[in-house]
Structure 1
């Protein structure tokens, strides 16, 4: 199969299924002495089919290695949401206390982007504004999705074969557990306990 470009500059970068054919997750993280100091989780959306092209429409990240990085343990979780013709929206997410395990946070972020994928697609396609219900057409149904090839985010990448880089949720959990010297069960338990509010309840930091 084909997939979006992987995050660059990380010790580990993988594709993870998003549960729908038009979306895919990418995960990148660094590992140092059973610790994960930096990670990036992105939701990609297929914006064209011939040729197939993808763009990153939502991203959650953490970086405690740089003074300019976003440290979720100091600033909380946020998600950057792209839109086709308007600036990226930055949403601050209400959430439960973060687990100490960065691997558990990564799994929680991946679960969140997967669960809320339709919201992020709707915001990208500008069928809804952040924090508001989706706009409706005259029949009260959601506006149909049209895949357009033009005017997309510059972060878009053309697909390239990447079967070797695809891992399942379970395999990702095992990789995170190995990186932190813990068990997959601990990673999954921490991710399950990380309660993140729906994006509709998030605070728009700036647009």
Structure 2
């Protein structure tokens, strides 16, 4: 099967099935003494079948090792969303407090992209506008600003198709649990406790 190339420069890089023939998820993360200091989760969309061509349409990242990185524990979860003829848009997601386990967060991000794949395809195809304009009835303004998608390090993700082995959700959970010295059950339980609002309710930043 042809698939998008894996993220490069990470200790672990894998493809994860979405349950759809036209979408795949790639996951890359580092391992440091039972911690995951950096990760990248991307949703890919198959834009052509002859020849097969993939493009990323949504991605979530965390990097606490670089001053240029996006730290979800300080800035919250956000999604960079690509569009066919317009610049990528950045969505600030409403979510419950994040657990200290980065493995739980990665697992939840993967589930989120699987659940919301149709939405991100519609935004990429420009059949709908991203997010929903926020209502600031108290006159306040959104304070967080997000790192533009261009700051996701160049070369981390190559667009060319490649043959790939696709792992299951269970296998991803096992890899994350091993990286943090935990059990798969703990990762699954922690991920399930993270609540993330639908992207329709997100705040659009830097459109």
TM range (shorter): 0.7 to 0.9
**C-alpha root-mean-square deviation of aligned residues, in Å?**
1.1
Aligned match of 1:143: none
CA contact (8 A) 1:55 1:156 kept: no
CA contact (8 A) 2:6 2:158 kept: no
In the comparison of the two structures, how many residue pairs are matched?
183
Give the Cα separation in 2 of the matches to 1:83 and 1:196.
22
Aligned match of 1:188: 188
Structure 2 residue runs without a partner (length 5+): 133-156
Give the Cα separation in 1 of the matches to 2:105 and 2:121.
23
Give SS of 2:189's match: helix
Give the Cα separation in 1 of the matches to 2:63 and 2:51.
34
Aligned match of 1:88: 88
CA drift of 1:159 comes to 1.8
Deviations along 1:72-102, one digit per CA (max 9) or x if unpaired, are 0000000000000001000000000001100
Aligned match of 1:25: 25
CA contact (8 A) 2:91 2:131 kept: no
Matches within 5 A, 1:88-167: 88-131=88-131, 157-163=159-165, 166-167=166-167
Aligned match of 1:142: none
**TM-score normalised according to structure 1 size:** 0.86
- Tell me which stretches of 4 or more aligned residues in structure 1 moved more than 6 Å: none
Structure 1 residue runs without a partner (length 5+): 133-154
